Chains A and B, each alone.
Chain A
């Protein structure tokens, strides 16, 4: 297991948003965390990337304890977080958004290699490389956000609702890209989604969160078949 979370608890003021959560994701695995609004998915992800400070519990990555480390340090350890809502900086160009992802890497040549790699994955970004990123469509912005994360040469990718606000066809495309990236780059991925069906379809492992607690963990395919999960999260 490369990512190990045990008994993680995170508070927002007095509210316990994540309650004693334990989970494990193997190297190269894609874990989907599903659950309704307010289940604590985003808070959990933000605690993994260092944006939120946990109250208690331990996060272990590749044998190292990283609980409550700062995000700017974690990105140097190979953990990239794409936060909720197409996290690009509209005031910067597409190229600048991408270069930002590699800004902590000293080697300019490596940076250029990553840039051509990202453009290969997302040719649309290459066509719009000099445009300001607020001129992009919703799907392109999500590609840019993921592209920026890839520029950091991640080993663990944390994705927060990449399907949010996108047209169904684009959602499908984004999910397929995430699956392909996971396999090709041997990434470990934690994907938080409201679109439970879409996420479980591409995931290896499914985790259901409710009111801050893990209520089900299983192979993603098994969860899709689970009557209780179907009724509560898949809508049929």
Chain B
């Protein structure tokens, strides 16, 4: 029973990391930038969700509101900030680093602006259903209806995303622009617009991750929530484990990380909460530096 419990908790947490990892991968694929502001965007989107819950009273309205808000914000960041940066710092040693440093700066800016608007205190989003564990044969699991719901919603979103990428023209444009922007342009794809769309999708994925991370915890959040730092670190590590370039890799990386952490905390020591993700990352980088489904970079004929 404890084994099942540990596994299910790991999968739930891992599915949230997967969403965050997907956000990293979408941005990386569209603009080759590691977006450290992703956690800030998830935080801001969670505030959007909070506003929607407190005004309209429903978590199910808050979720799409947060997603749309997150998508629009991310698209604006790409359109305004990133394009300007790429244009003005396009050569020299700065070119590769400037956008990444800028996302770190943006993370700080978002946190302070959010603190100015909503204050630094804890706010609360009430989960739509109970987070009390299921009871089987008189034993109470940690796995709860809420965790089941998180899992189901994440899976539905992942399926929708995979249909978008694999079955639609838009998905083909997104993939072509990621792998070979020049060939995509020569085929008539408006690569600039597709890049912005990549950021928008990442913003939406991050918004869901932020909301779920909050309600899957104790429901409280603030600009300094440990939950969001954890989301940033875990999402990034999951993306790296998955090879940074692959959406499927991001999902597998997230689940792998979630399950591993869950087992370490249960069977080794619960004091390893902050160390476990890094140790797991190091092990993966030693054993498979290209990520679990990444391909070794090499020359292509």
Contacts and interface: CB of A to CB of B under 8 A. Distances in A.
A52 to B, nearest CB: 11
14 contacts: A75-B186, A75-B188, A76-B188, A83-B183, A87-B180, A87-B183, A89-B176, A92-B172, A96-B172, A99-B172, A101-B188, A138-B301, A148-B187, A152-B187
Contacts of A70: 185
Contact of A72 (B172, B175, B188): B188
B153 to A, nearest CB: 29
Interface of B is mostly: helix
Contact of B188 (A51, A89, A104): A104
A88 to B, nearest CB: 8
A103 B190 CA distance: 11
A80 interface: yes
Given A72-B185, A75-B188, A152-B187, A103 B173 contact: yes
A89 B179 contact: yes
Contacts of A92: 172, 175-176, 179
Interface in A50-75: 51, 70-72, 75
Contacts of A72: 185, 188-191
Contacts of B184: 100
Interface string A164-183: 01000000000000000000
A184 B300 CA distance: 33
Interface residues on B, range: 10 to 19
Given A89-B180, A92-B176, A83 B186 contact: yes
B224 interface: no
Given A72-B185, A75-B187, A81-B186, A91 B300 contact: no
A138 B301 CA distance: 8
B172 A104 contact: no
Contacts of A19: none
Contacts of B122: none
Contacts of A71: 185-186
A7 B172 CA distance: 38
Nearest to A90: B300
